[in-house]
Amino acid sequence: MTNPYDERYERPGYYWGKAPSQMCYRVLQLLPPDRPLRLLDIGCGEGRNAVFFARNGYQVTAFDTSPGGVEKTKQLATEAGVPIDAFVADINAFRLTKPFDVLFSTGVLQYVPQERRQELFANYQEHTCSRGLNVFSVFVRKPFIAEAPDAEKTSHRWLSGELLTYYHDWRMEFCTEEIFDCMSSGVPHQHAVNRMIAGKETGRQARTADACPRA
């Protein structure tokens, strides 16, 4: 998958700025790193969220399909004096092989076609530690909101409530749908977004996540 932001990430400065998403603060409140916690930033962009988590004590791994974005993530981490394992990968091809306490992604899951979502989330859930969090934001389709001027052909918007269907047996810590104004293209427009934080409670299920190794 070609990242539509490749050209934007090559420009001076940070396209998305350096301030973290508000969802980062909710993660910090719900699962503070009072013990070693592994966090994966899925589609890290230029690293604003990944660096926030690293500065607050999480053991951060991050990937993005844009080499320019990954390079800026590394630069931002160096500026902040924090370690981040950042690498280039495609969300539609990369699958987890080790457990994480937190999976975090915002503004990326629209690049996953509907037919790939079931398998993708099964992989994410399998590799989430017990009492860990999946923290995701997805753009949802609304008939009264026009398509964004800079919408990409590789983008696949979600239906309202669709994200929750993959987490019907998880604990809902936070879930909301909202409409916000955006100027990403230089032209005023709006997006509808579904934000969710789901917690994994394994109960009598498989204990793989219960035995997550700690550094």
Residue 38 has pLDDT above 80, yes or no: yes
Please indicate, yes or no, if residue 149 is contained in any of the structural domains.
Answer: yes
Please indicate, yes or no, if residue 169 is contained in any of the structural domains.
Answer: yes
Please indicate, yes or no, if residue 206 is contained in any of the structural domains.
Answer: yes
pLDDT score recorded for residue 208: 46
- DSSP code string of the chain: ---TTHHHHTSSS-TT-SSPPHHHHHHHHHS--SS--EEEEET-TTSHHHHHHHHTT-EEEEEES-HHHHHHHHHHHHHHT--EEEEE--TTT----S-EEEEEEES-GGGS-HHHHHHHHHHHHHTEEEEEEEEEEEEB--TTSPPPTT--TT--PBPTTHHHHTTTTSEEEEEEEEEEEE-TTSS-EEEEEEEEEEE---TTS--TGGG----
pLDDT score recorded for residue 17: 77
Please indicate, yes or no, if residue 15 is contained in any of the structural domains.
Answer: no
* Domain harbouring 107, CATH code: 3.40.50.150
Residue 46 has pLDDT above 90, yes or no: yes
pLDDT score recorded for residue 24: 98
Average pLDDT of every residue of the chain: 88
Please indicate, yes or no, if residue 14 is contained in any of the structural domains.
Answer: no
| Prediction pTM value | 0.88
Residue 47 has pLDDT above 60, yes or no: yes
Give the domain range for residue 133.
90-211
Q: How confident is the model over 125-181, as pLDDT tens digits?
A: 999 999 999 999 998 888 777 776 566 666 788 999 999 999 999 999 999 988 777
Please indicate whether residue 186 or residue 43 has the higher confidence score (pLDDT): 43
Q: How confident is the model over 2-17, as pLDDT tens digits?
A: 566 777 878 888 887 7
pLDDT tier at 54, thresholds 50, 70, 90:
very high
What's the average model confidence in pLDDT over 50-58?
Answer: 98
Please indicate, yes or no, if residue 104 is contained in any of the structural domains.
Answer: yes
- Quick one: what percent of the chain has pLDDT higher than 70? 85
Please indicate, yes or no, if residue 61 is contained in any of the structural domains.
Answer: no
pLDDT tier at 206, thresholds 50, 70, 90:
very low
Q: How many domains does the chain have?
A: 1
